[in-house]
Structures are given as C-alpha cells and as structure tokens.
Amino acid sequence: MLKDTSFVQRFLFEELDIRGAVVQLNDAWRAMIQDRHYAAPVRTVLGEMAAITAIMTGNLKQPGRLTFQLQGHGPLNLLVVDCTETLNIRGYAKGDAVPEVAPLPAMVGDGRLLLTYEVNDQLQPYQSYVPIEGDTMAAVFEHYLALSEQQPATLLLACNGDAAAGLFLQKLPDADEKDADGWARITQLAATARPDELLTLDTETLLTRLFHEEHVRLFDARPVTHHWPMDPEKVESMLLSLGRGEVEAIIAEHGVVEIHDDLSNHTYRYDADDVAALFAGHVPPTRH
C-alpha cells in the first residue's frame, strides 16, 4: 500500500553532537513526476536530489527558498529542484537519449552544481558553484557539504517510482570531544540501512533499528508538499511585456503561442482570439 504523506524529520544525537534528518517523499514525489515519463535512472537521480533538497531546506537557519541545479554536458544535461521555506517542492530533469542503465558521471558528464538561496528579507540571493565530484548523487552532495559547511556529512538515498527517501547525518564541531569514536560508529551503523527501509519505515522505527544503543532526540516531522497550480496571470504578464507585435508574429508563424513551465509541469496555450482578447484589455503605459 502506497504511503500518502511526505515529510522531513530532524533528529539529534545530543551525547555525540551529531545531527541528522530523515526524509520520505511519497505523494509529493508522485505528483512531481506525474506525466513526466522519465527513464528509470533519470527518475532515480531526480528523486535523490529532491530528497536532499527537502532535507537541506528543512535545516536552513534563516527561512527562505532553496534551488539546486546540476548542469552537465552529458545526455542528462540539467536537473533542477526548488523548495520553499514551507517545504513546497518541485523539480524536473532535461536531457536526450539517456541510457536506461547508467551511473551518474556517464549521465551528467563534466559539470557543476549550483545552489541558489533566497532569504526572504534580502534583495540578492546567495549563490554557490562547485564542480560535480562523485559517482553518486549522495557523493556529489557530501562533497558539496564538506566544501560549503566545513563539516563531514553522510547521505543515504533511495528512490523508485512511488517514493524518494534519504537519511542525512552531519558531524558537528564538538563531536570528537564528546566521543572520539562517535562519528565513525554512527556512520558505520547508518551504512547498514537498506533502500526498502529508507522508503518504508517511519523515522522512529528506522532510527531504533539502526541506532538502538544510542540516545536520539527526535523533533516533530514537517510535511512536504507539491502544490504548484497554474498561474496564467504570470504568463499573461510576460506576454504583455513582449508586446502585441511580437506575440502576433509568433501566432502568424506557429498558429498558437505555447509556453511550458518545466518546473511546475504546466503548459499554457494561446490562439489568435486569446491574444486579441488579452491585448484588448491591456492599456499600454503612457510614454513621456
């Protein structure tokens, strides 16, 4: 039976100074890939990236919007996942002739990972680029976190057509002082988690199974959603900004103006009558 909810749930090994989080994307993941028809390896890496993005957004010190773009020169040339401070997530993949079975480097080729962090009260977003290093999505983000936060992190990820999930662990500055062997012990235990456990077990059961001799403080789970309804006003504003002449030229050439929102997976179509009605109700600004 498929799970209906998606969540991120943080936890802390207080005696070890190690933090972590569990993510399960169920209904949100299925909604995100509905009608996308991705090949299995593309679906897997997109789901893993979605799981990581949800975890990292849930860990932000200042509320904001987090967007990751993985850009490369292989058959899979773009992965984008965007998540708001309320954990409303969306994303997509773009590429041609991606092999049915392929490791991440073969799919992406050389490239880079871009983070964009938009804090609500700041005008300019923070952006950070790093090369794509690693054979898996988990390794790519472990490398990214090591560079950006200067603290070791471990990620275990799983994804299929019904769900995407992950377990995140990060060593905090005082971990070695509290227990010199704590980080090695926790990461070794975490490595025993099976993909089906990540995808199906609730957080408490998963952590108890992996770390039954450790004291874990569990925080409340936060729901993750995929709710991105169509926004015709935004699209029509863009068309108006292009000007009537340019839009009518597109109509003359193609018979219709078609705009696809890749992130939210919506298609907007305007024929000649729609365009005439749009511009009939628009009063151009006065020029001085």
Structural domain including 54 reads 7-223
Residue 286 domain-assigned (yes or no): no
Rounded Cα distance, 260 and 262, in Å: 6
Asked whether residue 148 carries a pLDDT value surpassing 90, the answer given is no
State the number of CA atoms in the 13 A half-sphere of 59 facing the CB. Answer: 19
267 and 181 in a common domain: no
189 and 239 in a common domain: no
Residue 2 has what pLDDT? 63
- DSSP state for residue 285 in the 8-state scheme: P
243 and 105 in a common domain: no
Strands 64-72 and 257-261: unpaired
CATH number for the domain including 268? 3.90.1280.10
Residue 3 has what pLDDT? 75
Number of domains, the chain:
2
62 and 103 in a common domain: yes
Residue 170 domain-assigned (yes or no): yes
24 and 69 in a common domain: yes
The per-residue pLDDT for range 66-89, each reduced to its tens digit, is 999 999 888 888 999 999 999 999
Q: State pTM to two decimals.
A: 0.90
81 and 45 in a common domain: yes
For the record, the structure tokens of 8 come out as 């991120």
Local confidence band at 282 (pLDDT 50, 70, 90 cut-offs):
low
Asked whether residue 152 carries a pLDDT value surpassing 70, the answer given is yes
* The one-letter amino acid at 149: E
236 and 187 in a common domain: no
Residue 167 has what pLDDT? 98
The per-residue pLDDT for range 84-120, each reduced to its tens digit, is 999 999 999 998 777 676 778 888 888 889 999 999 7
CATH number for the domain including 61? 3.55.30.10
Local confidence band at 288 (pLDDT 50, 70, 90 cut-offs):
very low
Local confidence band at 1 (pLDDT 50, 70, 90 cut-offs):
very low
Residue 78 has what pLDDT? 93
145 and 251 in a common domain: no
Residue 2 domain-assigned (yes or no): no
The per-residue pLDDT for range 207-256, each reduced to its tens digit, is 999 999 999 999 999 999 999 999 999 999 999 999 999 999 999 999 99
Rounded Cα distance, 173 and 183, in Å: 11
